[in-house]
Amino acid sequence: MDFLEYNQGILHCDGVAVEEIAQTIHTPCYVYSAAALTHNYHAFDNALPNIPHQICFAVKANGNLTILRHLANLGAGADIVSGGELYKALKAGIPNQKIVYSGVGKTTEEIRFALQSEILMFNVESESELLAIQAEAKQQHKRAPISIRVNPDVDPQTHRYIATGLKENKFGLPVEKAIKLYHQAALMPELEICGIACHIGSQLTSLQPFSAAFDRLLEMIRQLEQDNILLSYIDLGGGLGIRYKDETPPAPKEYGILIQDKFSGLSKTILLEPGRAICAEAGFLLTKIIYIKENDGKRFYIVDAGMNDLIRPTLYQAYHEIIPLRLSPDMEWTTVDVAGPICESGDFLAKSRSLPMLKEGDLILVKNSGAYGFSMASNYNARPRPPEVLIKDGAYSLIRKRETFDQLIENEIIL
Ligand code: LLP
């Protein structure tokens, strides 16, 4: 869904002129569309009409409390990977019984907090973690709900930094080991085996790797049931890709058809952990051209957003479409690098990009930045992180303030 459109050459988002936001909130700034979030959430939720399911939004993609609250109001749960994410999910009003906890490095303190919070389940990634959860459950006189994350050794055909389901990756357990661990867990009274989990990677653009992983899961579920280990939940992780440039990812509906084909005979609840597919297209990064310079014939638009605000282009060579806030048919086009103010050659938002000839002070926006944008932002070069804005019902509101210089130093101790 494209919620951005030019109206007489002026870019609008859900009826709001984006320039207005730049005038009051200033740049750089993240902007999200509530309507787009709702649309994307429903696309997932409606993709599985014939099977009980719960969408657990991957908080790592966007942990803003208002965004989480918005999704919670639509019925979303959360996939969390840290105590901090659990804290945020609960603060935003996501029900504890809709929270699943993934990740290879859960600390004792984090396990304690999650167990006290009575989350839906822990997706366990190693034997040592299982033992740590058992020990904590014993201390709290509770039964800890667990599933085991399987690494099905499937190539997700995505960027190698965001592939997780290959045997060389640190995530999950290989099938045989996972089965052994289930048997071990079944003998521990402090643990309640609830399900099985799998997440093979992010930004997947074809169904084939999902299908291969689901087949491995099905085989395992059959084997476990033969051994009298019964599961209530099948957590299929996240990973569905979006179109940044010319990718043609399956729609949630097609993904849903595949899931129903594979699992609807089993009378179990499906959990999905989408992040990107819900919020990437729903957000953009608004930035201003500060300077235009040319070095040996190469033209640069130097903007006020840098790799600390949006690291994806430099970290994953990710393509993000950039569009100007004002567009007219008589504009000349040119090829530019769009670069930030940070002192690194890797600080760019786009390389050799065709854009209109703009001038200093003009505004542009970086599309599809609602996922892994702000959530990966840092204070590098002592830059305060940008504010976040939500457009809802034809009006915009600040949902996170711009950081201040005082906040940059508030935790420091001068000796
Ligand atoms: N569940 C688990 C266990 C995950 O590890 C992830 C993402 C997700 C769900 C959500 O995946 P999604 O639906 O968003 O693809 N920073 C990278 C993406 C890293 C994804 C890590 N895990 C990026 O900017 O592309």
CATH code of 404's domain: 2.40.37.10
Q: From ligand 1's centre to the CA of 163, what distance in Å?
A: 9
- Mean pLDDT, range 399-406, rounded to an integer: 98
Q: Do both 51 and 28 map to the same domain?
A: no
CA distance 12 to 282: 14
The CATH number that applies at residue 80 is 3.20.20.10
Residue bearing the bigger pLDDT, 269 or 297: 269
Whether residue 349 lies inside any domain: the answer is yes
Among 1-15, 63-77, 165-179, 293-307, where is mean pLDDT lowest?
Answer: 165-179
**E strand segments, 143-218:** 144-149, 191-197
252 CB within 6 A, ligand 1? no
Query: Which of these three, 279, 306, 326, is where a domain ends?
Result: 279
Q: Among candidates 37, 147, 43, which has minimal Cα distance to 100?
A: 147
Q: Residue 4 Cα, ligand 1 centroid: separation in angstroms?
A: 25
| pLDDT tens figures, 363-383 | 999 999 999 999 999 999 999
In angstroms, rounded to a whole number, what is the distance separating the alpha carbons of residues 97 and 78? Answer: 10
Residue pair 11/365 in contact by the 8 Å Cβ criterion: yes
The answer to whether position 60 is within a domain reads: yes
pTM of the model: 0.97
- Identify the burial level of 383 via C-beta atoms within 10 angstroms of its C-beta, where 0-12 means exposed, 13-18 middle and 19 or more buried: buried
- Does residue 40 form part of some domain? no
Catalytic residue numbers? 343
Together in a domain, 87 and 107: yes
Please tell me whether residues 324 and 397 are part of one structural domain: yes
Check whether residue 173 and residue 157 sit in a common domain.
yes
Domain identity same for 173 and 290: no
In-domain check, residue 345: yes
- What pLDDT was estimated at residue 59? 98
For ligand 1, mutation pick of 124, 202, 278 (most atoms within 8 Å of CB)? 202
Amino acid sitting at position 159: H
pLDDT score of 166: 74
Residue 43 pLDDT greater than 80, yes or no: yes
Domain stops at, among 279, 297, 319: 279
Task: Answer yes or no: do 274 and 290 share one domain.
Answer: no
Q: Tell me what pLDDT residue 1 has.
A: 57
Of all atoms in ligand 1, which is nearest to the CA of residue 315? Answer: 24
pLDDT, average across residues 101-124: 98
What pLDDT, on the 0 to 100 scale, is given for residue 167?
Answer: 75
Look at residue 282 in the predicted model and tell me its pLDDT: 98
For residues 223 and 122, state if they share a domain. yes
Q: Do 296 and 273 fall into the same domain?
A: no
Site to probe by mutation for ligand 1, drawn from 198, 245, 276, 349 as the one with most ligand atoms within 8 Å of Cβ, is: 276
Q: What is the pLDDT of residue 80?
A: 98
Position 250 pLDDT exceeds 60: yes
Atom of ligand 1 nearest to the CA of 280: 14
pLDDT attached to residue 102: 97
**Do the domain assignments include residue 38?**
no
333 and 349 in a common domain:
yes
- Domain assignment present for residue 380? The answer is yes
N- to C-terminal Cα separation, the chain: 53
Token pair listed for 40: 């994307």
pLDDT tens digits, 275-321:
999 999 999 999 999 999 999 889 999 999 999 999 999 999 999 99
298 shares a domain with 267: no
**Residue 102, class by beta-carbon neighbours within 10 Å (0-12 exposed, 13-18 middle, 19+ buried)?**
buried
- Same domain flag for 271 and 155: yes
DSSP one-letter code for 163? B
pLDDT tens-digit profile of 90-106? 999 999 999 999 999 99
Per-chain mean pLDDT for the chain: 96
Nearest-CA residue for ligand 1 atom 5 is 199
Judgement on whether residues 275 and 364 belong to the same structural domain of the protein: no
d(CA 67, CA 223): 40
- Kindly state whether residue 414 falls inside one of the protein's structural domains: no
pLDDT in tens, 314-323: 999 999 999 9
Q: Is 415 within the bounds of a domain?
A: no
For ligand 1, the distance from its centroid to the CA atom of residue 398, given in whole angstroms, is 26
Contact 336, 355 (CB under 8 A): yes
Closest approach atom of ligand 1 to CA 149: 3
**Residue pLDDT, tens place only, 143-169:** 999 999 999 989 888 787 777 777 778
User: Domain total for the chain?
Assistant: 2
Does residue 125 sit in helix, strand or coil? coil
pLDDT higher than threshold 70 for residue 206: yes
Q: What is the domain range of residue 339? A: 4-32+282-409
By most ligand atoms within 8 Å of CB, the mutation choice from 273, 281, 319 for ligand 1 is 273
Q: Does ligand 1 come within 6 angstroms of the Cβ of 241? A: no
Q: Pick the last residue of a domain from 244, 279, 314.
A: 279
